[in-house]
Amino acid sequence: MANPLTLLMPVVPNTSPATIANALAAQQSAIETGLTNVGTVHFSRFLLLDSSQPNLQPTGSSSDNLVLGVITEYDGDFDVYIQDFVDQIGGVFDALLVFVVGGEKLTPVANNVAALTTFIQQNDASQNPSEPSLYSAYPQTVQQILAAFSQP
């Protein structure tokens, strides 16, 4: 059964959504390659919100209230695989954490795995005990699904 990650990170004040969008676009290939290599992530997406807006949607202008979210569903134990995650996708973390409040001191993440783990735990809304548990339509792992469809 997969586990959820709902990482919500306040963005450094006066950052424009376009800056973050461009950074994400530049990392897209590395994200896809890295997550495929890790092999435990079912789905992953980024989300940008503006907590100063009534509908939480960014307007396009710079804001002091942006929130960068990382939402994934993954197999296995996050803490156990964090070092392998960092190995496969650490460059993406480094590129994005510069936009996050308190993020720069975590970079390069390869040298700050314990601090990164703590930071993620503190900002992962899914770890809040009051959050409802994840619904999954299937119990299989990513690799079991890929294997099931690997041959006709």
Partner 1 sequence: MSDTPIDYSDVQGTVLRGYRVDLARHFILKITDSAAAKRLIGSMVDGTAGMPQITTAKRWSSKPEFFVNIGFTCQGLKELGLTPGQLSTFDQGFQLGATSPETAKTVGDVGNSAPDRWIGGLSDGMSVHAILSLWVTDDPIVLEAVTARLREAFEGGMEELSSHDARALPDNRIHFGYRDNIAQPTVSGAPPRKHPIPDDQPVVKTGEFLLGYLNEYGSTYKVDPVELSTNSSYSSFRILEQDVAGFEAFLEKYAEQAKIDPETLAAKVCGRWRNGNPLELMPDGAGTPLPLSELNDFTYVAADASEDDTLGLKCPIGSHIRRNNPRNGMVVGTDSTHHRIVRRAMPYGPDFDPKNPDPAARGLIGHFINGSITNQFEFLMGQWDNTSTFVKSAVGADPDCLGNAVFNISGDDVFVGVNEASSSSFTLAECGKKGSNNVEIEGFSRMITTRGGAYCFLPSISGLRYLAASSIATD
The contact set with partner 1 (CB under 8 A) reads 37-40, 75-77, 80-81, 83-88, 110-111, 113-114, 141-144, 146-148, 150-151
Q: How far is CA 137 from CA 2, 6, 45, in A?
A: 10, 19, 19
Nearest approach in angstroms of CB 59 to partner 1 is: 39
> Helices 113-123 & 78-97, crossing angle to 10 degrees?
90
The one-letter amino acid code at 57 reads Q
The nearer residue to partner 1, 20 or 41, going by C-beta atoms, is 41
The nearer residue to partner 1, 50 or 75, going by C-beta atoms, is 75
Nearest approach in angstroms of CB 135 to partner 1 is: 20
Nearest approach in angstroms of CB 56 to partner 1 is: 34
The nearer residue to partner 1, 16 or 83, going by C-beta atoms, is 83
> Rounded distance, CA 69 to CA 5, Å?
10
From the list 94, 113, 118, 114, the residue with the least C-alpha distance to 104 is 94
